[in-house]
Amino acid sequence: MSNASDAAIREDCLAAIAPHVPVLRELAGRRLAITGGSGFLGSWLAETVTALNDEHKMDIRLDVLAYRASAWAADYEHLGGRPDVSTRDQDVRSSFEFASDVSFVVHAAGIPDGRVHSSDPLRVFQTCVTGIGNVLDAASKLSNMAGLLNVSSGLIYGGQAGPGGFTEDTFGGLDIGQVSHVYAESKRAAESLCAAYRSQFRIPIVTTRPFTFVGPYQKLNRPWALNNFLRDALGGREIRVHGDGETRRSYMYGSDAACWVLVALVKGTPGRAYNLGSKGVMSIRQLAEEISLQVERRPAVLFRTLPAAQLRQSDFFPSTDRAMQELKVQETVGISSALAKTIAWHKRQASC
């Protein structure tokens, strides 16, 4: 794995934040803490904050807190080794305190991996619910608290997305007796706890609800269709689609996700939730075929590779009207470009 700064990622971050630099100057000279900072979103936030510091002289001090933050800093020394970035190994299930001069907090800790939802659901629930409780308790003690952003999940909506995607005001039912729903239910509980702290302690809390992401820093061993397709294609294997491929998703590139989060942090209305995802909807079939076209060997795409499985179509994509209208954000990277950038990054990593 390369420790070198990636010029392509820096360019993506600068392009995403370019229209929002005046708004993001609210962060200048402040201290920002990110919990769960070693994950996909946290890594892109670190890339974006350091881009703001280097190119726009923001002088933001960034604290990255994560279960294995020191390992992340070693893997990505171009981020973790910087003087404006500090790291701390911190399990959010245990109480802790932020540095006293922290002004902004992004709480991104969570376990979206469905395999862990089944194998260790208690840890999933505790990370979401106990974790947000500890974060809010620590934030309530900060004298300079200017904003806290809670990263929730689009899974809290439950059910099936309508023609225009999930809006922030529509909710379906979840079977609370099913362990597979522990992540979504714990994210719902975390949002309720945020509402309580916002009311009782007047913490300015904004929520984002992420959908599906794509881009560098996304590990290929994660159990999602996109990751599996990329892993197979890059490994020269056939792309295997378990069902008929008609389920629909949308995929947001990392630089856009990080930009939207930072804009929501400083510009979002406290108590308001904003979907975080792409409006560019495509079927799993289209995704697999697009990935096949973007690698040299053009692997075949096989469908219904698990004929005995009880597969249910579950469209999962957001309406982003609220975020685009209230925060004035836009996507800068479409899905074809996002896939090309992701494939190129993984090839660079493999060659190091």
Q: How many CA atoms lie within 13 A of 301 on its CB side?
A: 21
CATH at residue 30: 3.40.50.720
- pLDDT bin (cut points 50, 70, 90) of residue 46 is very high
Is residue 275 assigned to a domain? yes
**C-alpha–C-alpha distance, residues 281 and 283, integer Å:** 7
Residue 174, domain member (yes or no):
yes
Q: Give a yes or no: residue 102 inside a domain.
A: yes
pLDDT at 149: 98
- Decide if 237 is inside a domain: no
Enclosing domain of residue 15: 7-214+252-279+315-333
Q: Is 326 a member of any domain?
A: yes
Q: Do 340 and 281 contact (CB within 8 A), yes or no?
A: no
The yes-or-no verdict on residue 312 having pLDDT over 70 is: no
Q: Is residue 207 part of a domain?
A: yes
Nearest to 252 by CA among 313, 206, 318, 314: 318
Confidence of residue 172 (pLDDT cuts 50, 70, 90): confident
| Band of pLDDT at residue 178, cut at 50, 70 and 90 | confident
pLDDT (0 to 100) of residue 298: 93
Position 309 confidence tier, pLDDT thresholds 50, 70, 90: low
Give the chain's domain count: 1
Whether residue 121 is predicted with pLDDT greater than 90 in this model: the reply is yes
Residue type, 134: N
Count of Cβ atoms closer than 10 Å to residue 276 Cβ: 26
Are 275 and 323 in contact by the 8 Å Cβ rule? The answer is yes
Tell me, yes or no, whether 293 lies in a domain: no
Mean pLDDT of all residues belonging to the chain: 94
Q: Identify the pLDDT of residue 262.
A: 98
Read off the pLDDT of each residue in 292-296 and give the average, rounded to a whole number. Answer: 94
In this predicted structure, the answer to whether residue 305 has a pLDDT above a threshold of 80 is no
Distance of alpha carbon 303 from alpha carbon 287, whole angstroms: 13
Q: What is the pLDDT of residue 173?
A: 77
| Model confidence pTM above 0.85 | yes
CB atoms within 10 A of CB 95: 11
Average pLDDT of span 154-164: 88
The reply to whether 235 falls in a domain is no
> Model confidence over 231-269: pLDDT tens digits?
999 999 999 998 889 999 999 999 999 999 999 999 999
Mean pLDDT to the nearest integer, 66-72: 97
